[in-house]
Amino acid sequence: MLVEGGGGRGRGRALQAGLREAVRDGRLGAGTQLPSSRELAADLGVSRGLVTDAYAQLTAEGYLTSRQGAGTWVADLRQGPEPPTPPAFAADDRGGPDDLRPGLPDLALFPRAAWSAAHRRVMATLPHRALGYPDPRGLPELRAALAALLGRRRGVAADPDQVMVTAGVAQAHTLVGLALHARGERRTAVEDPGSPEHTALLAATGLTAVPVPVDGEGLSVTALEATGVRSVVVTPCHQFPSGVACSAARRAALADWARDRGGVVVEDDYDGDFRYDRQPMGALQGLAPGHVVYTGSASKSLAPGLRLGWLVGPRDLVAEAAQIKRTMDLGHSVTEQAALADFLVSGAYDRQLRRCQRLYRARRDALVAALSRHAPGAEVSGIAAGLHAIVTLPERYGPEPRFLAAAARAGVAVRPLSDYRTAARPAGEGDDGRVRLVVGYAHLPPEAVARAVRLLVQGPVRDARRLSGEAGEAGR
Q: Write the single-letter amino acid at 361.
A: R
| Residues of this chain, 283-302, that bind a second copy according to CB under 8 A | 284, 286-290
Query: What gap in Å lies between CA 210 and CA 457, rounded to an integer?
Result: 35
Report the DSSP beta bridge partners of residue 413: 99
80 binds a second copy (CB under 8 A): yes
Cis peptide upstream of residue 241 (ω within 30 degrees of 0): yes
Contact assessment for residue 298 and residue 273, using Cβ atoms and an 8 Å cutoff:
no
Selected range binding a second copy among 17-25, 184-192, 371-379, 422-430, rule: CB under 8 A: 17-25
Q: Least distance to a second copy from the beta carbon of 113, Å? A: 8
| Residues of this chain, 188-247, that bind a second copy according to CB under 8 A | 200-201, 204, 245, 247
Mode of pairing for the β-strands spanning 292-297 and 218-219: unpaired
Q: Which is nearer to a second copy, 241 or 304 (CB)?
A: 304
Q: Write the single-letter amino acid at 31.
A: G
Query: What gap in Å lies between CA 380 and CA 370, rounded to an integer?
Result: 11
1 binds a second copy (CB under 8 A): no
Number of residues in contact with a second copy under rule CB under 8 A: 109
94 binds a second copy (CB under 8 A): yes
Query: What gap in Å lies between CA 445 and CA 415, rounded to an integer?
Result: 19
Task: Provide CB contacts within 8 A for 242, sequence distance 6+.
Answer: 193, 214, 381, 382, 390, 417
63 binds a second copy (CB under 8 A): yes
306 binds a second copy (CB under 8 A): yes
3-state secondary structure of 232: strand
Query: What gap in Å lies between CA 164 and CA 300, rounded to an integer?
Result: 19
3-state secondary structure of 230: coil
Q: Give the helix/strand (H/E) hosting 454.
A: helix 446-475
112 binds a second copy (CB under 8 A): yes
| Residues of this chain, 161-180, that bind a second copy according to CB under 8 A | 166-168, 170-171, 174, 178
**Single residue of 307, 388, 415, 454 touching a second copy by CB under 8 A:** 307
Q: Least distance to a second copy from the beta carbon of 225, Å? A: 17
**Single residue of 116, 208, 222, 372 touching a second copy by CB under 8 A:** 116
13 binds a second copy (CB under 8 A): yes
Q: Least distance to a second copy from the beta carbon of 90, Å? A: 9
**Single residue of 11, 15, 16, 150 touching a second copy by CB under 8 A:** 16
Selected range binding a second copy among 26-34, 314-322, 366-374, 446-454, rule: CB under 8 A: 314-322
Give the angle 223-224-229 at the CA atoms, nearest 5°: 135
Q: Least distance to a second copy from the beta carbon of 89, Å? A: 6
3-state secondary structure of 417: helix
Query: What gap in Å lies between CA 419 and CA 43, rounded to an integer?
Result: 67
Selected range binding a second copy among 42-50, 102-110, 445-453, 456-464, rule: CB under 8 A: 102-110
| Residues of this chain, 330-349, that bind a second copy according to CB under 8 A | 330-336
**Single residue of 45, 67, 68, 82 touching a second copy by CB under 8 A:** 82
Q: Least distance to a second copy from the beta carbon of 396, Å? A: 35
Alpha helical stretches, state H, 36-164? 37-44, 48-61, 112-125, 140-154
3-state secondary structure of 391: strand
**Single residue of 33, 208, 327, 372 touching a second copy by CB under 8 A:** 327
Alpha helical stretches, state H, 330-417? 334-345, 348-374, 400-409
Q: Least distance to a second copy from the beta carbon of 429, Å? A: 26
Number of residues in the chain: 476
| Residues of this chain, 392-411, that bind a second copy according to CB under 8 A | none
Q: Least distance to a second copy from the beta carbon of 392, Å? A: 25
259 binds a second copy (CB under 8 A): yes
Selected range binding a second copy among 188-196, 254-262, 400-408, 419-427, rule: CB under 8 A: 254-262
From the list 191, 268, 197, the residue with the least C-alpha distance to 229 is 191
